[in-house]
Structure 1
Amino acid sequence: MSHDGVGPRAVKRSVAFLTASALAVPALAGCGSDDPAGKPLAAGDVARADRARIADGGTLRWAVDTVPDTLNTFQSDADATTSRIAQAVLPSMYRTDSRGRPVRNPDYLESAEVVETEPKQVVLYRLNQQAVWSDGREIGAADFAAQWRALSGKDTAYWTARNAGYDRIEKIERGKGDLEVKVTFSRPYADWRSLFTPLYPKEVMGTPDSFNDGARKKLKVTAGPFRVKKVDGKKDEVTLTRNARWWGDPAKLSTIVLRAVPRDKRISALSAGTVDLAEIDPAAARRITVAALPQSASSPLMGPGARRSVADALRSWAIANGSDEEAADEEISARQKLRRKAAKYARQQKALAGFEVRKSLEPAYTQLALNGAEGPLADERVRRALARALDRRDIAEAVLKPLGLPAEPLGSHLALSGQAAYADNSGALGRQDTEEARALLADAGWVPGGPVKKKDDEAKDEAEKAAGPEGEENDGSGQDSDGDSGDESEGGDDGTYIVGEDDDAADADADEADADDDSGDEGDSGDSGDDDKAPQDSGTGSRPLHRGSAPGAYAPKGTAAPARAEAAPVAKDGRALTLRFVLPSGPGSDTLRTVADRISRMLERIGIRTEISKVDDESYFKDHIASGAYDLALYSWPATAFPATDARPVYAKPVPAADGSLNVEQNYTRVGTDQVDQLFDQAVTTLDDSERRDLLRKADARIWAAAGSIPLYQRPQLTAARKDLANAGAFGFRTPVYEDMGFLKKSAQGPTGTPGRN
């Protein structure tokens, strides 16, 4: 899962995306000007090179987030590294192309087609006659059947995380020959191409014991260009080596080492030469870009002390040479630490000159989630008002424009630009319109300048309610049923408003604080947690939510409203509309905090206040998003080639479970409709590609109208790569071709060692 890294279609949809996203829809319509699917906003950036230019052998050290707990992608604790390994060592019937659309993988599959639709759907697979497992056995119907039985959901002894599609299969038979597999479905299934990717051998899928435990740390039998040599938990790495029985183009690399490196340590790992390829954040990308520039007097000032002015230096010298011995000792020590930090930074920058940043857009998107289970956001009018207040283009530009990537707001919940199901359906909700947003709030009873109860009054109301219905009864309409932890005293007395720091002052304070941080002690050895960003880069912590003069100043009772009266807080039944905005606090969350700050300011314009709550990364998803302990949140979903199957649990209407709880599946906004469910159900049984796309686009339009989640932008994909590494980097939509990765021959390298791009 990723908050702005790998999305929480953790466990189910992330697995579906990373393992089955390389799946296919043949006979797709062309992407002409009248095709709403459009084209991908950015191409992959992998430094493409012909195999003839790549040296034979070598080890690629690839930074990953984790060493996986399991090598079985169909288990609940599988992660992105599990899927990456599966792509390199196991059969995949389909893979994704550069447009995010699935295509047949000829290394395993000569053809696959629906040969019957009545009385039942039948798909005939014709396998590549050279396709064999690493033990020499042919890949065949027995492997398909074993995987179906394990994932059908009929045998609960198999601890499976997902069985979508497999539960619709009635039987699997051998065709006319050993290379044919005939799959008969009990119910029509449009996304049949999502199945058997990856395909595990019958030795793994054949029994519950082998499925549950046998493939967690070992895969004895594989069928890809690489095989799993070792999973080393102590070294936090997985080693893949060439598969001697691979029948396709032989792998150029002899070894791939997937090494777990925390995101905030990757600059250190790259500069130390312990990894060759790593996904990085924007701050690390800036460091690598600057390192590659010719060093001159005009080079950007970066590193420890870069922001220190002449006056700062003179003041430091004066203290270090002053009569106050204690202050002088402290200043001398601080200056020594700063010199050590600067020297370390310079060494790292010199080493980083051997790398480059390859960038694209990731097949995933960031959304704003609105928890519609209870509280103010349970009212669709409030959700729609909030959504209409957002300038999504401004948000996309803030994230993507500084990186030189296309800054287009996303128009679909179910696909990305270029994918078959994509269409911009945001018009179903309406364009950004502040006046309309205020009107929707007013219609829901939230009006600006309304009386707001003081905290003492609220406590009194609660006490009276707890004591019983004495006097006039409270109907509870003003209760903050969402458990909001906001400080509701901000509203103050009737006619009181709050003014805070203006943005320029906030920026100045942030710069000053950041400069102070630059001179902090990272220690003389080891890696700092800040290594991934240039020391002068400022963080993006929460800005004040209100503009004006003195921070937190209260105007006296009866003071006339300011010129910005239209942005006065809205209230209802004595309560201001304040929403808890939950964000992760760990390294790599700067982008999310920037986005949250912009959203908060946009909502302030229509009178909605936010209280940003930063929580630990480890608890962010499980304890807040999945449990519903938030009003607003930012997290990412991966794109999928099969939205009819993979997206349904994300947008399905929550239903009561047998134990009285609410079964939300993966719909963590708790917003859904019967109509959306029906459209998904129709789409997944519609075999005609055009009709299915129309149904999915209708479903997306209704998801927009319900305003449970607001897609914002396709996520940036930034990868640091050695300059002589070819066919690897920011892959974009395309499934990596592991056998083509490698290091350029000396004769094929340019003056800087960089392979050509095409």
Structure 2
Amino acid sequence: MSHDGVGPRAALRSVALLTAGVLAVPALAGCGSEDPAGKPLAGPDVEPADRAEIADGGTLRWAVDTVPDTLNVFQSDADATTVRIAQAVLPSMFRTDGRGRPVRDPDYLESAEVVETEPKQVVLYRLSQQAVWSDGREIGAADFAAQWRALSGKDTAYWTARNAGYDRIEKVERGKGDLEVKVTFSRPYADWKSLFTPLYPKEVMGTPDSFNDGARKKLKVTAGPFTVKKVDGKEDEVTLTRNARWWGDPARLSEIVLRAVPRDKRVSALAAGTVDLAEIDPAAAGRVTAAAGPQSASTPLMGPAADRSAADELRSWAIANGSDEEAADEEVSAREKRRRKAAKYARRQKALSGFEVRKSLEPAYTQLALNGADGPLSDERVRRAVARALDRKELAEAVLKPLGLPAEPVGSHLALSGQAAYADNSGALGRPDVKEARALLSDAGWVPGGPVEEEKEKGEKAAGAEGKKGEGSGEDDGTYVVGESEENKNDEKEKKRKGGDGKDGRENGGDDKAPQDSGTGTQHLKQGGAPGAYAPKGTAAPARAGTVPVAKNGKALTLRFVLPSGPGSDTLRTVADRISRMLERIGIRTDVSRVDDASYFKDHIASGEYDLALYSWPATAFPATDARPVYAKPVPAADGSLNVEQNYTRVGTDQVDQLFDQAITTLDDAERRALIRKADSRIWAAAGSIPLYQRPQLVAARKDLANAGAFGFRTPVYEDMGFLKKGAQGPAGTPGAKSADSSAGD
């Protein structure tokens, strides 16, 4: 049966991610008749097609980031590919639909409901009569019980990464019949639908040895439309094949090959025909789109010769045919290299014309994280000043508008638009306001001018003594200061205007009617006047009016801004540059460092070696469970260190913790949503992290591939994926055509 749903939550929330209680929080959204959750900003874009239109058989080659180290999603080294495999081969009691909300999976469950709340919460699962493991055994209470014992946290011999929810179960037992499973909780648990997804067989969960090692490289027993045929580390691929004992609609594909392909190599893999489906970055998406579109004389040039003008070509021809034989030979060789590159590019573009870009928004958002552990950002007023200096709408538009995706800033830390718990609670922090941001800094003791200029002059002298390393030497240490560099650029322009040595223009034939220096050194720029127009001789004009750096106790306010430097990080650098300019307007300078992708999260984010950073968190249908460790108040550990769980901003409050604790035990859906939204308002007010925009999801897919692409909240229905039959019509009446509402919200 084809159904609307998504597989299990990610095993780990990876990347990809105080005094707020005394702050006034506005009335919660949702008090009126209109649902504040709204609709998803973008729906799935998967080329939907009826199963009858899809050919029987074929192999889908799907690019992934890695071949996983384990097939057990409950282990610490599980990754996104681990989850993808589990979605295709294991039972899911509840999946997530196109609105990011949990729904019953009818292939496994006839029903599941809370049947008792007093004296204890009891959930009764009624399993599908046809649900069996690939070895023929019925799925039943023994599998549920084995998974509970393994993940309860009571037996430390199991190397588990998480036990949330399972630690609240008191017992798992057989119901009235073989198809009933009765789960009794020792404490109320609102997110009970998150459990047993995926469900592993008792052969995996039954003993510590089988849990720790038995499911790392193989799964002998499965229960999905596909089964694991082979995990090949040498070939960097995992092969899934049809499950002969699958009782639902049979898979249209014969095999799915998950092939590890680096992000920066995916366009080449698509062109070479080694993959059929691949998530790609915006630059690659532009190339695929250009190749797929109609070509004409007016089509913008791309590729190796895109930046060469007619004059360049004429000059090249003249040199190649000139009297200087050595220069002619070099130019002929260069022309031949360009020709070969252009031919290769043309061949690849022709190959790429068989693909299209399917786009949606990921169930994840990018945020600006502010490290509140120490330094200037330990002061909530400074964090709030940073937050209120940001124009989040501008940042969202910079990333999403060029891609044709809805450019709306995210209004919640705990859910995304369309999900039940979503409401825009950013009003708890206040609207963007430069004036208010400066007032917050001033209240915290950071004021404009003063020692900053002296500090800058010393820095310039030191740089001069060292030969201005990294500026004129051609060396680059990967670090630059936004704000200071802009002022230096303006100073250089001013020197050129005055004759190159900084002297008054009159000494170089300049205008002898320039304003004269009074010699008193007491003249000041009038408010509203042009920068530097009436300043005394020797006074440097500010780069921009009103952007004088702020200082406190003789030190300028400069924040360490850490970014990844690997492939695909161009978007983050663009966003960081805009953020830096926004902060410069309130007098905050940023020291931007680009670090290796491999060390970015572990050595900087998790260890707290940053002031500002950009990274993403996934959204979840179960925020009371999954988001709590991300925003929990850090507590001192026994060894003197700080236990931050997953709260890498180190900002938390007792009140937020209490609201999460209340939400997790509240079985009433409306009341729980209100508690989640209230917690989100407090998180906004604390300003430890600022949600910016939902991440774009860009997927290159073969034009004849149906029911696959950019899934948004919805995970693929694996049995419905496949290639259209020859002559099959897409939803709009043409082969491969998209439906009219393919990017609309569900």
What per-residue deviation string (whole Å, max 9, x for no partner) do you get for residues 458-501 of structure 1?
9xxxxxxxxxxxxxxxxxxxxxxxxxx98899979xxxx93426
Change (3 A) 1:487 1:754: closer
Q: Indicate the residue corresponding to 1:454 in structure 2.
A: 455
1:371 maps to a residue whose letter is N
Change (3 A) 1:728 1:557: farther
CA-CA distance at 1:284 after TM superposition: 1.0
Q: In structure 2, the residue corresponding to 1:500 is in which secondary structure?
A: helix
Q: Indicate the residue corresponding to 1:601 in structure 2.
A: 581
Q: Indicate the residue corresponding to 2:350 in structure 1.
A: 350
Change (3 A) 1:753 1:736: same
Contact persistence 1:280–1:718 (CA under 8 A) = yes
Q: Indicate the residue corresponding to 1:754 in structure 2.
A: 736
Q: In structure 2, the residue corresponding to 1:567 is in which secondary structure?
A: coil
Change (3 A) 1:34 1:136: same
User: Structure 2 residue aligned with 1:678, among 651, 658, 671?
Assistant: 658
Q: Does 1:401 align with 2:383?
A: no
Contact persistence 2:11–2:83 (CA under 8 A) = no
TM-score, L = length of structure 2: 0.85
Q: Indicate the residue corresponding to 2:690 in structure 1.
A: 710
Q: Does 1:53 align with 2:67?
A: no
Once structures 1 and 2 are overlaid, which stretch shifts more, 329-338 or 436-445?
329-338
2:455 maps to a residue whose letter is K
What per-residue deviation string (whole Å, max 9, x for no partner) do you get for residues 157-211 of structure 1?
1000000000011110100001000001111100000000000000000000000
Q: In structure 2, the residue corresponding to 1:731 is in which secondary structure?
A: coil
Contact persistence 2:384–2:687 (CA under 8 A) = yes
CA-CA distance at 1:327 after TM superposition: 4.8
Structure 2 Cα separation of the partners of residues 487 and 262 of structure 1: 28
Q: In structure 2, the residue corresponding to 1:12 is in which secondary structure?
A: coil
Q: Does 1:667 align with 2:656?
A: no
Structure 2 Cα separation of the partners of residues 244 and 487 of structure 1: 59
2:489 maps to a residue whose letter is G
User: Structure 2 residue aligned with 1:640, among 598, 605, 620?
Assistant: 620
Counterparts in 2 of 1:243-282, with a 5 A limit?
A: 243-282=243-282
TM-score, L = length of structure 1: 0.83
CA-CA distance at 1:573 after TM superposition: 1.1
Contact persistence 1:724–1:755 (CA under 8 A) = no
Counterparts in 2 of 1:264-343, with a 5 A limit?
A: 264-321=264-321, 327-343=327-343
Structure 2 Cα separation of the partners of residues 305 and 486 of structure 1: 32
Q: Indicate the residue corresponding to 1:137 in structure 2.
A: 137
Q: In structure 2, the residue corresponding to 1:565 is in which secondary structure?
A: coil
Structure 1 Cα separation of the partners of residues 457 and 589 of structure 2: 20
Q: In structure 1, the residue corresponding to 2:13 is in which secondary structure?
A: helix
1:104 maps to a residue whose letter is R
Counterparts in 2 of 1:163-182, with a 5 A limit?
A: 163-182=163-182
Contact persistence 2:270–2:352 (CA under 8 A) = yes
Q: Does 1:631 align with 2:611?
A: yes
Q: In structure 1, the residue corresponding to 2:676 is in which secondary structure?
A: helix
Q: Does 1:221 align with 2:238?
A: no
Change (3 A) 1:739 1:308: same
Change (3 A) 1:16 1:627: closer
Contact persistence 2:483–2:590 (CA under 8 A) = no
Contact persistence 1:252–1:739 (CA under 8 A) = yes
What per-residue deviation string (whole Å, max 9, x for no partner) do you get for residues 515-554 of structure 1?
xxxxxxxxxxxxxxxxxxxxxxxxxxxxxxxxx99xxxxx
CA-CA distance at 1:630 after TM superposition: 0.8
Once structures 1 and 2 are overlaid, which stretch shifts more, 442-451 or 238-247?
442-451
Q: In structure 2, the residue corresponding to 1:313 is in which secondary structure?
A: helix
Structure 2 Cα separation of the partners of residues 31 and 353 of structure 1: 51
Contact persistence 2:564–2:600 (CA under 8 A) = yes
Q: In structure 2, the residue corresponding to 1:747 is in which secondary structure?
A: coil
Contact persistence 1:64–1:260 (CA under 8 A) = yes
Q: In structure 1, the residue corresponding to 2:682 is in which secondary structure?
A: helix
Q: Does 1:124 align with 2:124?
A: yes
Change (3 A) 1:560 1:294: closer
Structure 2 Cα separation of the partners of residues 397 and 260 of structure 1: 32
Change (3 A) 1:565 1:163: same
Q: Does 1:738 align with 2:707?
A: no
Q: Indicate the residue corresponding to 2:183 in structure 1.
A: 183
Q: Indicate the residue corresponding to 1:655 in structure 2.
A: 635
Contact persistence 2:285–2:700 (CA under 8 A) = yes
1:729 maps to a residue whose letter is G
CA-CA distance at 1:572 after TM superposition: 1.0
Structure 1 Cα separation of the partners of residues 396 and 174 of structure 2: 51
Change (3 A) 1:128 1:557: farther
Q: Indicate the residue corresponding to 1:500 in structure 2.
A: 489
Structure 2 Cα separation of the partners of residues 154 and 76 of structure 1: 17
Q: Indicate the residue corresponding to 1:430 in structure 2.
A: 430
Gaps of 5+ in 1: 1-8, 18-28, 459-484, 505-547, 550-554
Q: Indicate the residue corresponding to 1:238 in structure 2.
A: 238
Structure 1 Cα separation of the partners of residues 435 and 282 of structure 2: 35
Give the % identical residues: 86
Q: In structure 1, the residue corresponding to 2:727 is in which secondary structure?
A: helix
1:641 maps to a residue whose letter is A
Contact persistence 1:488–1:576 (CA under 8 A) = no
Change (3 A) 1:329 1:406: same
Contact persistence 2:54–2:723 (CA under 8 A) = yes
Structure 1 Cα separation of the partners of residues 665 and 704 of structure 2: 47
CA-CA distance at 1:335 after TM superposition: 2.6
Contact persistence 2:480–2:593 (CA under 8 A) = no
Change (3 A) 1:33 1:351: farther
Structure 1 Cα separation of the partners of residues 284 and 60 of structure 2: 20
CA-CA distance at 1:341 after TM superposition: 1.5
Contact persistence 1:237–1:257 (CA under 8 A) = yes
Q: Indicate the residue corresponding to 1:514 in structure 2.
A: none
What per-residue deviation string (whole Å, max 9, x for no partner) do you get for residues 615-645 of structure 1?
1111111111111111111001110000000
Structure 1 Cα separation of the partners of residues 257 and 653 of structure 2: 46
Q: Indicate the residue corresponding to 2:501 in structure 1.
A: none
CA-CA distance at 1:155 after TM superposition: 0.5
Counterparts in 2 of 1:506-517, with a 5 A limit?
A: none
Q: Does 1:610 align with 2:590?
A: yes
Structure 2 Cα separation of the partners of residues 488 and 635 of structure 1: 21
Structure 2 Cα separation of the partners of residues 603 and 384 of structure 1: 12
CA-CA distance at 1:568 after TM superposition: 0.9
Contact persistence 2:15–2:616 (CA under 8 A) = no
Counterparts in 2 of 1:57-72, with a 5 A limit?
A: 57-72=57-72
Structure number with greater Rg is 2
Counterparts in 2 of 1:364-443, with a 5 A limit?
A: 364-443=364-443
Q: Indicate the residue corresponding to 1:589 in structure 2.
A: 569
Structure 1 Cα separation of the partners of residues 75 and 185 of structure 2: 24
Contact persistence 2:11–2:73 (CA under 8 A) = no
Contact persistence 2:479–2:593 (CA under 8 A) = no
What per-residue deviation string (whole Å, max 9, x for no partner) do you get for residues 237-276 of structure 1?
0000000000001101010000011111111111111111
Q: Does 1:578 align with 2:579?
A: no
What per-residue deviation string (whole Å, max 9, x for no partner) do you get for residues 203-230 of structure 1?
0000000000000000000000000000
Structure 1 Cα separation of the partners of residues 238 and 383 of structure 2: 45
Q: In structure 1, the residue corresponding to 2:546 is in which secondary structure?
A: helix
Once structures 1 and 2 are overlaid, which stretch shifts more, 563-572 or 267-276?
563-572
Structure 2 Cα separation of the partners of residues 225 and 636 of structure 1: 31
User: Structure 2 residue aligned with 1:622, among 602, 608, 613?
Assistant: 602
Change (3 A) 1:622 1:11: farther
Counterparts in 2 of 1:140-151, with a 5 A limit?
A: 140-151=140-151
CA-CA distance at 1:454 after TM superposition: 3.2
Counterparts in 2 of 1:14-29, with a 5 A limit?
A: 14=14
2:115 maps to a residue whose letter is V
Q: Indicate the residue corresponding to 1:475 in structure 2.
A: none
CA-CA distance at 1:314 after TM superposition: 3.1
Contact persistence 1:15–1:83 (CA under 8 A) = no
